[in-house]
Amino acid sequence: MDDHPLLEVKNLVSGYGSKNVLNEVSLEVKPDEIVAVLGLNGVGKTTLLKTVMGFLNASSGSIIFKGQDITPLKTTQRVNMGISLMPQEDPVFPNMTVAENLDMGGWLIKDKIEKQNRLSEIYSLFPRLHERRSQKAGSLSGGERQMLAVARALMIKPQLLMMDEPSLGLMPKLVNTIFEKILEIKKQGVAILLVEQNNKALSYVDHGYIMDMGNIKFEGNAEDLKKQIVF
């Protein structure tokens, strides 16, 4: 495993308007690594992802990706560099088919053959989506919609995939299925930063952080984190 971080977040301060939500948050994700940020609802996990993605501006601190300071860059530039986000809110377009959702996910791919090849790779990873490719996304089950949200974020072939609570609202069996897919994605050479309330994530991650009230309270491997969690 490469010891140099793919993503470095250094002393990041961010929020909404004059209200800071993140208070000098620092973390890193190495290539081919699954890193989790765990914490209760409302502690700043989603704000962290939105700031790394460029949806929110950092008040101070820096975001380094592949050794480059991307803090001033726009979201599109960050996507072009290889960062993708599976959001928690509205992760799929319900009135579009599965295939149309995936096509939207690959909007940056201009070459039709390249896009078709990428689509084939996605369908190999998610055979259920291939079966449902002509269905409207709104008619899918909760687990299938989550898989589609992950697949859409993967269409651009990111080096870093960020995921906002991929297990949210899923039955325990489907939670395991989603996390198993995340492991498969890691094996394809994609680094993953996921935020979760579900402690089951610890069975699948390489490293993690516990966040509370916009601060990182603890950092360690999965076993260390299991001893610290009280929620």
pLDDT above 60 for 117? yes
> Domain containing 59 — which CATH number?
3.40.50.300
Compute CA 131 distance to the chain's CA centroid, rounded to the nearest angstrom.
Answer: 25
> What is the 8-class DSSP label of residue 41?
T
Considering the entire predicted model, what is its pTM? Answer: 0.92
Closest alpha carbon to 25 in 153, 215, 218, 184: 215
Confidence of residue 231 (pLDDT cuts 50, 70, 90): low
**Number of folded domains in the chain?**
1
Position 216 in a domain: yes
Position 202 in a domain: yes
Q: What is the pLDDT of residue 89?
A: 76
Position 15 in a domain: yes
pLDDT in tens, 146-165: 999 999 999 999 999 999 99
**Over the range 98-116, which residues count as b (16 or more CB within 10 Å of their CB) and which as e?**
bbebbbebbeebeeeeebe
Confidence of residue 225 (pLDDT cuts 50, 70, 90): confident
CA dist 88 and 103 (Å) reads 20
pLDDT above 80 for 230? no
CA dist 219 and 9 (Å) reads 14
What's the domain range around 189?
7-92+158-228
Position 27 in a domain: yes
| Residue percentage of the chain with pLDDT more than 70 | 98
Position 142 in a domain: no
pLDDT above 60 for 35? yes
- Judged by DSSP in three states, 5 sits in coil
Position 206 in a domain: yes
Position 74 in a domain: yes
Task: Pick left, alpha or beta for residue 113 (phi over 0 → left; psi -120 to 50 → alpha; otherwise beta).
Answer: alpha
Compute φ and ψ for 128, nearest 5 degrees. Answer: -60, -35
pLDDT in tens, 162-208: 999 998 888 888 888 899 999 999 999 999 999 998 888 999 999 99
